[in-house]
Structure 1
Amino acid sequence: MSTDAFFGHLTRIRNVILPSGARAALNSPRGLLGGFILVHLVFLVFAASLSLRGEAFSDTFIYRDWAVAGFSDANLSGGPSPWVYPILALIPMAIAGAAGPGPFFFLWVLMTTLLNGWALLKLTERGTNRAAIPAGWWWLAFTFLMGWLGFARVDGLTAPLVLVALAYGVGRPFVASVLLAVGTWVKVWPAAVMLALFAVVKNRLTVVLAGIATTAAVVALAAALGSVPKLLNFLTQQGDRGMQLEATFTTPWLWLSVLNVGDSRMYMNTAINSMQVDGPGTATMSVLMQPLLILAALLVAGLTFWALHNGKQHKVAGGVDRTELLLAGALTLATAFVVFNKVGSPQFMVWLGPAVAVGLAHSWREWRVPAAMLIAIAVATFFIYPLFYDALSHNNPWMALVLTIRNVLLVVLFLWSVRRLYLLGRKTPAPAPALKES
């Protein structure tokens, strides 16, 4: 079945389920606003109910303890240090903890909601870009499916920042670079998107200056707080960790553990609150993953540079669409950061949403394939965490199969992204309509 036939079939199913009047209502700024309110109200109500009982959820328990301890290791009884994160990640934790530990979780979810709202406004140009409204619905669906991985983790704060940055993109590279630099000082992964931006903009000095200016402000903040010695701790505190259970490259040892072969086993690394897999060769693989990730990122960046300059040289489709190239490069690099990562936490799937959402707003037809794959990845991830993580960590073969399918989809998404970059730069035009630059 061809791609057009597959999506045509899905469209016919949608039309049967939703009458034309309902589709028209949903495909409007008011309909999208209603969807945003409904989706986020679910999380806000749940967060409020837990906060009223003095509870938190998932990683926000750890964030709350850090805030109560004043982000000082000396005040903690054990567990991971707050400095496993870059310094700007501590700011939202401090804000959520400003009113004490009770409302921490609700305030955290509220901050995520506000950032998601900002991202949706920018994606749809405050609802004036009607063509982007379906992309907004996709973003809401993906956000809902990712669940608490987007609302109880730092990653959920960085995803909307990256989406807004990509929406500014090549048209406003300085603003985009500042947002990506801020995101990088919250959770490192937005650096991948900044690398893609650097590769495609006309004035690369703008990207560099924005990054330097933002970093200078971060260093000044650290100096004011007396935290300069800890500023780069996030680069070293997790360097000796092993292969995490959900990581793509852990899949062979996952099955060795499930089948009880070669003394492979799953265990909890309590120092960093992470399930890992140990077995023959895992220590070597763990050491190799960091250089492998760097190599993959450099190769993708090189392919992005090639696509830009080769496309310009051969006048591909009238010249390379820099926005399309930015989005393809951003998705490829973000996917590389997931596929070639020895950590592989389930919340990393959140990293892949922004480029796809902006891509759908830019050209729905060209981005519908990765959008469908990412929805499947989100569904599989939801089954992994939070539904059946306990079963997975106790060698359940069915959940190991779900995780394997999810990891295969990630590899396929990476290969699709690499192919897309190649098609954008080769002599024969990529099978995409001529699109505006931004």
Structure 2
Amino acid sequence: MPESPRRPVAPRPVALRPVTLWCGFAVVHTILILLNLSGIGWPLGDVERVYLGWAESTVSGAVRLGIDTDFVYPIVALAPILAALVFGAPLYALTWLGLVSLVNGVAFGVLIGRRPSRAAATAAWWWLGFLLLLGPVALARIDSVTAPLAIMGLLWLGSRPVWGALLLTVATWVKVWPVAAIIALVVASKRRWQVLAAFAGTSALIIGVALAAGSGLTILSFVTEQTNRGIQIEAPVASWWLWQSALGIPGTLVYYDQQILTYQVIGAGTDVAAAVLTPLLALCVAAVLLLGWRAQRAGAAADLLFPPLLLALVLTLIAVNKVGSPQFMIWLAAPLILGLVAAPRDWRGPALVALGMAALTQIVYPYFYNDLLATTPVMVLILSLRNLLELVLLGWMVRRIWRLGTSAATLSETPHAAPGALTHRSILKE
């Protein structure tokens, strides 16, 4: 029999082609690098003023941060901070930007693969738009390193679950926030012991190396460094005092804390608020986890429960916190990319809200940050809107988790899930 003619394969849309996506990646990162090097608003302040000093002091042997001197970050944060010194102090900032771009590129490659699905391409384009709207700070903080590590870790949970959990643990030892993914996995997945084993083993190795170097309890100094802080001006709770200052009500002062190296607000009740917020944050995290546990016990599938639970935990760490910084918005990228890959239609709304939050953040920092320090009403309003959107998005995720616990969802994929979003080897499969 003669062979039937093969049907012509339709060409892939331009936006789905890897070359188009990589061109978009290159353009966005070039713009962000140029914005950082322009010096407008000095977005590289922490990199040039703080990270470089830490790197030079460590290399010279003057101090051993996290070993014999308290360190504000977990000890693995020293790895990228020291790596950026490889070409010398004069090129430190440029090397840092190149390093972050490289790590972003690796995560971007993991996301889109050789032949990206429509869902993966959607998530990739959203990530590029998010970075561009967030502005220069998207590359110029230690959080910029943890975000791509977390993105890779979350994506690998589908095909390399142990490696995914390991990478999330390493990211946690750079900046604490990725531990939210580990906690969410413990609640949402029935394979929680595998997650805990990877987390405990990796953490034990890191701590063991530090103890062998003579760190003692200093290895945990990043915990006390955070709890001793006052009310930072970008924290949502600070809005109460910022508005008092903006409206000319006496008794509120914005000042620069020389020890913590951040701007904080002081006024009637700030000491009480600072003392209350740490236990309140713990209680709110516990409440979100209880909702997640309720949903899991009701039969909600792990791949449905994990993304909103993770985003809710990350937003809780941001919104119910006395510490607030523009780079905290970077944390949102990982859970939202996971959601967009798994179910693009269901996550379109939250993703758009996050884009608005990123744009508002860039307006405040770095371009009009001095106006915020002067508590001009317009800047306080913009910051307040950004903080309000944090609470709106948190409420949205809490509602999703509640509904999962009420409807006893047992399907492993949502009606709008992307085909092949999670493989059979996924740690999120039952």
Same fold (TM over 0.5): yes
Give the match for residue 33 of structure 1.
22
1:58 and 2:51 equivalent?
no
Preserved contact between residue 168 and residue 175 of structure 1 (Cα < 8 Å): yes
Under a length normalisation based on structure 2, what TM-score does the superposition of the two structures give?
Answer: 0.87
Question: Structure 1 340/34 Cα, relative in aligned 2: closer, same or farther at 3 Å?
Answer: same
Preserved contact between residue 325 and residue 421 of structure 1 (Cα < 8 Å): yes
How far the C-alpha of 1:191 sits from its partner, in A, is 0.8
Q: How many residue pairs end up in the alignment?
A: 400
Preserved contact between residue 123 and residue 358 of structure 1 (Cα < 8 Å): no
Preserved contact between residue 169 and residue 323 of structure 1 (Cα < 8 Å): no
How far the C-alpha of 1:29 sits from its partner, in A, is 1.7
Preserved contact between residue 35 and residue 136 of structure 2 (Cα < 8 Å): no
**In structure 1, what is the Cα distance between the partners aligned to 2:273 and 2:44?**
32
Query: What is the CA deviation profile of residues 309-329 of structure 1, one whole-angstrom value per residue up to 9, with x for unaligned ones?
Result: 21x2xxxxxxx3422311111
Give the match for residue 267 of structure 1.
255
How far the C-alpha of 1:171 sits from its partner, in A, is 5.2
Give the match for residue 81 of structure 2.
93
1:379 maps to which of 359, 378, 391: 359
1:164 and 2:146 equivalent?
no
Instruction: Give the SS at the match of 1:237.
Output: helix
Give the match for residue 339 of structure 1.
319
2:205 maps to which of 199, 208, 217: 217
1:303-322 → structure 2 map (5 Å cutoff): 303-310=291-298, 312=299, 320-322=300-302
Query: What is the CA deviation profile of residues 381-436 of structure 1, one whole-angstrom value per residue up to 9, with x for unaligned ones?
Result: 00110010100000101000001111111100100010111122222769951647
**In structure 2, what is the Cα distance between the partners aligned to 1:119 and 1:213?**
24
Query: What is the CA deviation profile of residues 185-231 of structure 1, one whole-angstrom value per residue up to 9, with x for unaligned ones?
Result: 10010111111111122221111111111111212331344334421
1:123 and 2:111 equivalent?
yes
Instruction: Give the SS at the match of 1:365.
Output: coil
**In structure 1, what is the Cα distance between the partners aligned to 2:215 and 2:408?**
53
Give the match for residue 368 of structure 1.
348
**In structure 2, what is the Cα distance between the partners aligned to 1:248 and 1:277?**
12
Give the match for residue 107 of structure 1.
95
**In structure 2, what is the Cα distance between the partners aligned to 1:207 and 1:185?**
16
Give the match for residue 421 of structure 1.
401
1:380-395 → structure 2 map (5 Å cutoff): 380-395=360-375
**In structure 2, what is the Cα distance between the partners aligned to 1:230 and 1:376?**
39
**In structure 2, what is the Cα distance between the partners aligned to 1:279 and 1:73?**
41
1:281 and 2:263 equivalent?
no
Question: Structure 1 73/398 Cα, relative in aligned 2: closer, same or farther at 3 Å?
Answer: farther
Instruction: Give the SS at the match of 1:344.
Output: coil
Question: Structure 1 105/29 Cα, relative in aligned 2: closer, same or farther at 3 Å?
Answer: same
Question: Structure 1 257/73 Cα, relative in aligned 2: closer, same or farther at 3 Å?
Answer: farther
Identity %: 37
**In structure 2, what is the Cα distance between the partners aligned to 1:434 and 1:242?**
44
**In structure 2, what is the Cα distance between the partners aligned to 1:219 and 1:388?**
41
How far the C-alpha of 1:49 sits from its partner, in A, is 8.2
Question: Structure 1 247/46 Cα, relative in aligned 2: closer, same or farther at 3 Å?
Answer: closer
Counterpart amino acid of residue 43 in structure 1: L
Instruction: Give the SS at the match of 1:277.
Output: strand
**In structure 2, what is the Cα distance between the partners aligned to 1:252 and 1:96?**
39
RMSD of the alignment, in Å? 2.5
Q: Which has the higher contact order (CA 8 A, sep 6+)?
A: 2
How far the C-alpha of 1:90 sits from its partner, in A, is 0.5
**In structure 1, what is the Cα distance between the partners aligned to 2:310 and 2:114?**
24
Moved more, 215-224 or 396-405: 215-224
Give the match for residue 433 of structure 1.
415
Preserved contact between residue 70 and residue 221 of structure 2 (Cα < 8 Å): no
Moved more, 162-171 or 149-158: 162-171
**In structure 1, what is the Cα distance between the partners aligned to 2:330 and 2:261?**
20
Preserved contact between residue 262 and residue 279 of structure 1 (Cα < 8 Å): no
Give the match for residue 18 of structure 1.
none
1:240 and 2:228 equivalent?
yes
Preserved contact between residue 16 and residue 116 of structure 2 (Cα < 8 Å): no
What stretches of structure 2 of length at least 5 have no aligned partner? 1-11, 423-430
How far the C-alpha of 1:233 sits from its partner, in A, is 0.8
Give the match for residue 330 of structure 2.
350
Question: Structure 1 49/419 Cα, relative in aligned 2: closer, same or farther at 3 Å?
Answer: closer
Give the match for residue 327 of structure 1.
307
Query: What is the CA deviation profile of residues 340-360 of structure 1, one whole-angstrom value per residue up to 9, with x for unaligned ones?
Result: 110011110111111111211
**In structure 2, what is the Cα distance between the partners aligned to 1:428 and 1:217?**
39
**In structure 1, what is the Cα distance between the partners aligned to 2:59 and 2:271?**
31
The structure richer in helix per residue is 1
**In structure 1, what is the Cα distance between the partners aligned to 2:414 and 2:192?**
26
Preserved contact between residue 288 and residue 309 of structure 2 (Cα < 8 Å): yes
**In structure 1, what is the Cα distance between the partners aligned to 2:349 and 2:141?**
27
Query: What is the CA deviation profile of residues 34-63 of structure 1, one whole-angstrom value per residue up to 9, with x for unaligned ones?
Result: 10111112334566788xxxx992210210
How far the C-alpha of 1:174 sits from its partner, in A, is 2.0
Question: Structure 1 286/123 Cα, relative in aligned 2: closer, same or farther at 3 Å?
Answer: same
